[in-house]
Copies of this chain bind each other. A is one copy, B any other.
Amino acid sequence: MSSVTAIKEGMPRQKGSGAPRMKSEERRELILAAASGVFGERGYVGTTTDAVAKAAGVSQPYVVRMFGTKSALFEAVLQRSLGTLLREFRREIAAQGRATPELPGCIGRCYVELLSDRGLLLSLMQGFMLGADPEVGPIVRAGFLEVYRVLRDEGGFSPEQAADFLAEGMMINTLVALRMGADFDTDRDARELIEGTMPAKASMLRDLART
């Protein structure tokens, strides 16, 4: 079929080396993890499906076909992030016991640990900023309230404790989004603010902003 038929030939697949054929579920998780990072960094609108594809090491049409639309991909990322957050909170509650005096501090540490999964908290926060969107809005409102209920009903937080905890969380999210950690070593006020907000794990913010 080489020459005579003038139809254009795709000259494909010379990656003779171990072509890493993968099951679609593995690819799905790979793409979700990559998308979480990109959405967290650039926001929903600022993220291109091509950037996600490159971060995941696949082609752009593959990303779109697997999730249908960019919007569906973002919602899958949100569900994944929220699911991880709730699971970790519940694990901590189970470990420390409901309404123990140590629990708030433990869940706080737990929250900060989640920062190591670059993109998890930031993609959620980017979702919160889309509250006015008729499709994403209801999802993120419900997710936020679910976190509140887990703290109050399963963790035994008082409403005020839960609200204060969430306020601290939003502050941390904001400092991360701002990349305030980049100024940790060079700006006294930045350092004081970060250490005042998360005394234990201040250095984590600095290292996070290095990237």
Contact = CB atoms under 8 A, between A and B. Distances in A.
Contact of A141 (B129, B131, B141, B180): B180
Given A46-B45, A145-B187, A189-B145, A128 B197 contact: no
Nearest to A145: B189
A98 to B, nearest CB: 18
Contacts of A84: none
B129 A125 contact: yes
State how many copies of this chain the complex holds: 2
Interface residues of A, number: 44
A58 interface: no
Given A149-B189, A162-B196, A171-B163, A178 B41 contact: no
Interface string A164-181: 001110110110011110
Contact of A163 (B42, B126, B193): B193
A133 B155 CA distance: 37
A57 interface: no
A41 B145 contact: no
Contact of A132 (B42, B174, B196): B42
B166 A171 contact: yes
Contacts of A62: none
Contacts of A43: 43, 45, 129-130
Contacts of A41: 132
Given A46-B45, A145-B187, A159-B196, A131 B166 contact: no
Given A149-B189, A189-B149, A137 B179 contact: yes
A190 interface: yes
A160 interface: yes
A131 B193 contact: no
Interface string A146-168: 00110000000001101100111
Contacts of A149: 189
A76 B170 CA distance: 25
Nearest to A196: B163
Contacts of A162: 193, 196
